[in-house]
Amino acid sequence: MTGTTSTADAPAIRKGLVGVIADETAISKVNPDTNSLLYRGYPVQDLAAHASFEEVAYLLWHGELPTTAQLAEQTATERASRALAPVVRDAVLALPTTCHPMDVVRTAVSVHGANDPQAEDSSPEAEQAKALRLWAVLPAVVALDQRRRHGLPEVEPRDDLSYAESFLWLTFGEVPDPVVVRAFEVSMVLYAEHSFNASTFTARVIASTLSDLHSAVTGAVGALKGALHGGANEAVMATFEEIGTADRAETWLDEALAERRKIMGFGHRVYKHGDSRVPTMKASLDELLEHTGRQDLAELYDALEAAMTERKGILPNLDYPTGPAYHVMGFDTPTFTPLFVAARVVGWTAHVMEQHAHNALIRPLSAYAGPDQREVPER
């Protein structure tokens, strides 16, 4: 249950922190009334159309789009930091192949952080450098884990590819068609930042204790894993597989709603009239499905969306188009949420730096609902 409860002598409880403005941020602005999302003032759909993911990362971290020289410097560092340190590789390979890839990413972030030469340096320069190194290495972690689960050998990083191309190269051992690369890059831009969502807020809570950047990101990965947040993109694909074909969508939905199941990839805490990022990702998905000849998936997508809109008036969120997009790109379903991590780590680390720059310990109150004070019985 979400909502506000209060009594005459007790302050209101905002269950789920619904509607609570916890702090200011200059990083992004979500406007549910106009279904818009701005990164540092720029509409996200314009950035997706005209900027690379690397430029968007620079923008989110520094507040402005990079000059050519600034982008070249960031790119050189990122490309030089793509390889896994042996201690991180060993940690990934030590985990069972049956564990969830988000557990692998969470562990790898923690080990990478402990191994970072500036681990305990919280100066703004060190935090920026750590954010860049962590962002740079995540594709190798995610790709290594998917490949080992399929019995495939690791792929050597290349320094002549963009971030998106390199991610696909490390995962598949080839750079796919530009349509695929573009759709993947668009998804990264759209996933990069979204104000005080659950995982970002988790990162800010941890940062507010003056804990370090990697601890904050490790916690954020844990928050993102849940099905009500980032885990929904995997669950969308599971839904599509369960339904099978477009002609079964309505019946499936009616049964699922009768069982009071949540339909993954639909609804949003902030957007109640549609998610600002969906039209951009849907356009990329359409291109991808056309390119890969997956008309069946396009029909299923439309059929479930139409039925959900008609039955509940609840619209898709970004995880709805990214799920099938990642599927046709060739990622296995458990890898979807780790892809979200590699994008959102930019937003998380920008928020950690903002929190540290204007810190106040985040420590809300609770209303006690347990027994009245009582005596410990004789024992």
CA distance 260 to 214: 38
| Residues contacting 317, CB < 8 A, separation 6+ | 232, 265, 266, 267, 268, 271, 275, 278
CB of 154 to ligand ACO, least distance (A): 30
Kindly state the smallest distance separating residue 223's Cβ from ligand ACO, in Å. Answer: 10
Catalytic residue among 229, 268, 327, 356: 268
- What is the Cα–Cα distance from 18 to 133, expressed in whole angstroms? 34
Q: Active-site residue 319, yes or no? A: yes
Q: Scanning the structure block, which residue is given the tokens 């139409």?
A: 306
How many residues of this chain interact with ligand ACO, rule: CB under 6 A? 19
Nearer to ligand ACO, 127 or 305 (CB): 305
Our finding on whether 14 is near ligand ACO (CB under 6 A) is: no
Which residue of 61, 266, 336, 348 would you call a contact of ligand ACO, by CB under 6 A? Answer: 266
Toward ligand ACO, which CB reaches closer, 88 or 192?
Answer: 192
Helices (H), the chain: 44-50, 53-62, 68-80, 86-94, 101-115, 124-149, 163-172, 178-191, 198-208, 213-225, 232-243, 249-258, 278-292, 295-312, 319-329, 336-357
Identified binder of ligand ACO from the candidate list 14, 100, 269, 294, rule CB under 6 A? 269
Nearer to ligand ACO, 205 or 224 (CB): 224
Distances (CA, A) of 237 to 230, 251, 321, 323, 335: 13, 18, 10, 6, 11
Q: What is the per-residue binding string for ligand ACO in 207-236, x denoting contact by CB under 6 A?
A: ---------------------xxx-x----
- Catalytic residue check, 291: no
Residue closer to ligand ACO by CB (options 144, 217) is: 217
Minimum distance, C-beta of residue 30 to ligand ACO, in the bound complex (Å): 11
Structure letter (DSSP) for residue 130: H
Q: Parallel, antiparallel, or unpaired for β 3-7 and 10-15?
A: antiparallel
Q: Which residues are known to be catalytic?
A: 268, 319
Residues forming the site for ligand ACO (CB under 6 A): 2, 16, 228-230, 232, 262-269, 312, 314, 317-319
